[in-house]
């Protein structure tokens, strides 16, 4: 699939249930046209990871995901040798030799071949046997160490990996790369400069309502409006962690299961754990503050 314009990009994302604003649609379009990685920063739950999943569906290609974490190194992200299998092969050869079996390789010859190679996400993404470019998602890069960032810089410039025992593996089709960050730490400018950068903010009330209608089909219009207005007001409070769009959708879905027709204080108190994930935030919201936010949510109900 070729995305010929920003409008075409936005429409394609929408067909796959992702509502993007003009800024995000522009960055996705340019990243694809320029062959650059798309670097998305923003609070958790605003739809950064979902972009990669939607692009994989829209482009009808494979999604390869690398979840970053502290201590991530080349063995977990690129490749490692299957040492148990290599050892078994060596033992089998030794047994064959002792039994006088002919025609079998002995020792360690031939055990550092692709047959014994465990391909991790980054090596999978540059595999020249792929028939089309995959979508490579490098999720939460801010959780990885700076040393991993340095390795990533080299990969993004050439999309090739050198394995000493086998040689250089180069991508036949440059992967569509999406990098996400929750900004728990600053990512080095050198990495961002190689990418098309975009900050995904919390959506406006109008856009969030549109997302709820799309993702939670069957929800009553009145309830959907109350949910969105409540969450929008909630984000203005001093919380340890404000709810993202993912939490809005979870809450709206849960209220549907509860067959709620209206937001009430008791229902909100009972389901706050779907919106906020820290007990201090739950304790702060229960009681008078919840009722105040409910009054604000009800004011826009027509």
> What is the tens place of the pLDDT at every residue in 242-296?
999 999 999 999 999 999 888 888 899 999 999 999 999 998 888 788 888 898 8
221 within a domain of the structure (yes/no): yes
Report whether pLDDT(195) > 60: yes
State the CB neighbour count (10 A cutoff) for residue 101.
Answer: 11
Q: Please state, in angstroms and rounded to a whole number, the distance separating the CA atoms of residues 43 and 199.
A: 9
Confidence bin at 234 (pLDDT 50/70/90): very high
Confidence bin at 302 (pLDDT 50/70/90): very low
Q: Which stretch of 136-140, 149-153, 187-191, 297-301 has the lowest confidence by average pLDDT?
A: 297-301
Number of domains composing the chain: 3
pLDDT tens per residue across span 71-96: 998 889 999 999 999 899 888 888 87
Q: How far is CA 78 from CA 37, 110, 227, in A?
A: 18, 21, 43
Same domain, 107 and 128: no
Last residue of some domain: 119, 148, 183?
119
Strand ranges of the sheet holding 195-200, from the earlier edge strand across to the other edge = 63-67, 135-139, 176-181, 37-42, 195-200
CA angle, 14 as apex, 10 and 18 as ends, to 5°? 100
Domain that holds residue 21: 6-70+120-200
- pLDDT (0 to 100) of residue 289: 86
Report whether pLDDT(98) > 70: no
35 within a domain of the structure (yes/no): yes
Q: Please state, in angstroms and rounded to a whole number, the distance separating the CA atoms of residues 3 and 28.
A: 10
- pLDDT (0 to 100) of residue 134: 97
Domain CATH number, residue 171: 3.40.50.300
pLDDT tens per residue across span 197-211: 999 999 999 999 999
pLDDT tens per residue across span 16-55: 999 999 999 999 999 999 999 999 999 999 999 999 999 9
pLDDT tens per residue across span 127-164: 999 999 999 999 999 999 988 988 898 888 889 999 99
Q: Are 179 and 39 in contact, with CB atoms under 8 Å apart?
A: yes
263 φ/ψ sector (left φ>0, alpha ψ -120 to 50, else beta): beta
Same domain, 114 and 181: no
Q: Encoding tokens for residue 237?
A: 């409070």
Q: Are 29 and 6 in contact, with CB atoms under 8 Å apart?
A: yes
Last residue of some domain: 184, 200, 216?
200
Same domain, 234 and 152: no
List CB contacts of 273: < 8 A, sequence separation 6 or more: 282
Instruction: Say how many residues make up the chain.
Output: 302
- pLDDT (0 to 100) of residue 107: 64
- Average pLDDT of the residues in 179-198: 93
Same domain, 36 and 127: yes
């Amino acid at each position: 699939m070729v995305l010929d314009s920003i409008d075409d990009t936005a429409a394609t994302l929408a067909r796959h249930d992702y509502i993007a604003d003009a800024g995000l649609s522009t960055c996705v379009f340019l990243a694809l046209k320029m062959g650059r990685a798309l670097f998305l920063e923003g609070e958790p739950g605003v739809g950064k990871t979902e972009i990669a999943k939607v692009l994989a569906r829209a482009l009808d290609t494979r999604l390869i995901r690398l979840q970053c974490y502290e201590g991530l190194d080349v063995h977990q992200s690129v490749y490692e040798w299957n040492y148990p299998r290599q050892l078994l092969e060596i033992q089998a050869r030794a047994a064959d030799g002792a039994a006088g079996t002919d025609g079998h390789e002995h020792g360690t010859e031939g055990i550092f071949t692709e047959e014994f190679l465990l391909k991790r996400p980054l090596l999978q993404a540059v595999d020249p046997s792929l028939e089309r470019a995959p979508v490579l998602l490098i999720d939460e890069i801010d959780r990885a160490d700076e040393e991993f960032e340095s390795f990533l810089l080299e990969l993004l410039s050439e999309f090739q990996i050198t394995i000493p025992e086998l040689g250089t593996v180069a991508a036949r089709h440059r992967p569509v790369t999406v990098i996400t960050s929750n900004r728990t730490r600053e990512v080095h400018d050198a990495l961002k400069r190689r990418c098309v950068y975009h900050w995904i903010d919390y959506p406006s009330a109008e856009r969030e309502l549109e997302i709820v209608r799309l993702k939670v089909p069957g929800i009553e219009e009145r309830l959907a409006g109350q949910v969105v207005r409540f969450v929008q007001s909630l984000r203005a409070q001093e919380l340890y962690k404000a709810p993202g769009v993912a939490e809005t959708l979870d809450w709206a879905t849960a209220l549907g299961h509860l067959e709620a027709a209206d937001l009430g204080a008791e229902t909100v108190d009972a389901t706050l754990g779907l919106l906020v994930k820290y007990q201090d935030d739950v304790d702060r919201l229960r009681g008078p503050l919840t009722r105040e936010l409910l009054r604000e949510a009800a004011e826009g109900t027509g």
